[in-house]
Amino acid sequence: MQSKVDTYRGIVENTRSYRKDWGEHLKNMIIKNLEEINKVSGLDAKVDVQDNMENLEVIMFSLGQEASGIAEKIENSEMTRPMIKHNGSLVYQQLFNGKVMIMIAYPLIEGYGQPKPPKMVEILRPEEFKEPFIIRHVEEFLKEIIDWEDYDDDANNHVGAATPIGFTSSSIITEDHEG
């Protein structure tokens, strides 16, 4: 039983330490790096900090929102109501225990279909979090957003896609094959 008490005390102390590290270092490092990536890349994203909950803060690297180009026709009228598109966000969220969860929020067109659930990239302790990880996170974010934007049924055109039924590389007959 004493080992469980010691484990519990250690975890509670880690939470205090992680929260302190977020406030003193990690939060500003994430913001600085996202702003630099945005500036250098010309992506025109917005870095937004939501800090209305102490020790549950969120940093969002957002591609913003815009009219989607899709509009609902108003019955018995010439008017239309545009549907708003949220272009996706990379989210760094401080968890209740001081660790940091990194997620990708996919684009969403309000009033159209079901939103795709966010993708959880990873959860890191502050001491595990390194600056180069932010570049990796942004690259994964962009890959996911590009895939969402370019959605179609051409799954077989992607590297690693399944072979179409009835065709395998061994069943292709070449000209010099005797048979």
Tell me, what's the pLDDT at 72?
83
- For the residues 88-102, what does the mean pLDDT come to? 97
Q: Tell me, yes or no, if the pTM score tops 0.95.
A: no
Q: Other CB atoms closer than 10 Å to residue 5's CB: what's the count?
A: 9
Higher pLDDT among residues 102 and 155, named by residue: 102
For 37-61, letters b (16+ CB in 10 Å) and e give bbeeeeeebebeeeeeeebebbbbb
CA distance 62 to 178: 59
Confidence of residue 165 (pLDDT cuts 50, 70, 90): very low
